[in-house]
């Protein structure tokens, strides 16, 4: 069964420092995709980064990178040089090929950036 686990309910980080948000997943499918979304207090889900199960390189998008360790089934999000605007809820999600576009989400991690 598909499952996403985010073990950190909340995290604090000092402005300009890097932070890692943890995500582990469980799937029996060989073809799947992993996503990270940011949800500010406004509620909108903002797509951050995507990693395919067959991608050999870790995905990067600006200050966001995804530390993909397939054998460990982990897909941690690394935010470099944190900014105050990074304060939000962060969700890890997975999609398996056989389920079309259905996303399974983790419980989320609230990130607070301190000045």
Burial (0-12, 13-18, 19+ Cβ within 10 Å), 111: buried
Question: Does 23 engage in binding with another protein (CB under 8 A)?
Answer: no
Q: Which residues contact 112 (CB under 8 A, 6 or more apart)?
A: 10, 11, 12, 13, 87
Nearest CB to another protein, comparing residues 30 and 115: 30
Spatial separation of the C-alpha atoms in residues 53 and 88, rounded to whole Å: 26
- Beta-bridge mates of residue 104: 94
Smallest distance from another protein to CB 99, Å = 6
Question: Does 105 engage in binding with another protein (CB under 8 A)?
Answer: yes
Question: Does 7 engage in binding with another protein (CB under 8 A)?
Answer: no
Contact with another protein (CB under 8 A) among 3, 72, 102, 114: 102
Nearest CB to another protein, comparing residues 31 and 69: 31
Using CB under 8 A as the binding rule, the residues of this chain from 32 to 61 that contact another protein are 32-33, 35, 37, 42-47, 50, 52
Smallest distance from another protein to CB 44, Å = 5
Tokens 């402005």 sit at which residue? 15
Name the nearest CA neighbour of 55 among 45, 65, 46.
Answer: 65
By CB under 8 A, name the binding residues for another protein: 31-33, 35, 37, 42-47, 50, 52, 91, 93, 95, 97, 99-108
């Amino acid at each position: 069964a598909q499952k996403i686990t985010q073990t950190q309910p909340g995290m604090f980080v000092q402005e300009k420092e890097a932070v890692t948000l943890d995500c582990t997943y469980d799937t029996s499918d060989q073809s799947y995709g992993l996503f990270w979304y940011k949800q500010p207090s406004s509620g909108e889900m903002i797509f951050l980064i995507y990693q395919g199960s067959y991608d050999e390189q870790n995905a990067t998008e600006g200050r966001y990178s995804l530390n993909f360790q397939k054998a460990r089934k982990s897909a941690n999000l690394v935010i470099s040089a944190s900014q105050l605007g990074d304060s939000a809820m962060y969700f890890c999600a997975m999609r398996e090929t056989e389920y079309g576009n259905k996303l399974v989400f983790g419980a989320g991690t609230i990130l607070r950036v301190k000045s």
